[in-house]
Structure 1
């Protein structure tokens, strides 16, 4: 279950509908059948069909796989279903994605915008949360991950780093990545991502 624009009810539902439609558009723009997308993403045809019809909400892992296939960051995909983004992104209007299954909460602090190459995301993982992405959303994506509270174990391009409060890990992502919260406390971190 994910939640965009918490406490905004109808607006959140409209964004969910637009996201489902955008996922279908991206597949059609490439001329792919559901079977071909299933092969490229590793997501079953029936799950893809239900996602595109808005019958189910994607988990962070599913959305991450689709973003990789479509060569987009998650923030860019979500920005594509918003109305024209404002220059000042007020705290109450920042998109929030919640994946209850994995314990991941993602706030789009500064979403992608035409003419800007960077975005800022806040991530929170509960103790024991473990999220893996098989491929980067965009090969060579530059990331700066600054831990605000707690500690997180990050694996990127085959190297694992434990990053604590105040530390910053920076790299270009070419391969698989994984974020794990070893606990005992949640971790909260900021990600600055810059498109190549």
Structure 2
């Protein structure tokens, strides 16, 4: 494992910790998209089916279990916790996320490494992860003001993808021109979706002001 992938894993993990901290400490999920969290839960379950068939390393197994369990816990809190669910911005979180699921699954059936259940579900998870942040970004734009913890959550989630792109570039030059076009293309799309958010995030940081996104 190279340093870029490690930092990518850590920023991804930290984004989840920040979100859990917001929900459990404040008993509020205001500004958080349940639909995005449900999409991520589906992403992790589909991608990590190899937990039942392949052992790569203890680190790898632990990280997979952590991402599945924490995301499911977030979804449960937003749906079932008596205090948290009352703060859910249901009227703002109206993105039709089932369209993202449908398109991602069709792409996985058409474009995959091998036509097996495991490989199709893996490709599906890659395509879906690329666009899973859309309901969250739309919710933030509709609400306008973004609280500090929610902003940090999205920032670290975007940083995770940035580090993974650096990881791919590093591996391309050090591992006999390593290249996997499905995650690379999906990763570039995912990073592009964060561009507008990062612009306003750094603008608010530079001006020491509250993060606001244009509606």
**When the two structures are superposed, what TM-score results if normalisation uses the length of structure 1?**
0.31
Q: Which has the higher contact order (CA 8 A, sep 6+)?
A: 2
**When the two structures are superposed, what TM-score results if normalisation uses the length of structure 2?**
0.29
Higher helix share: 2
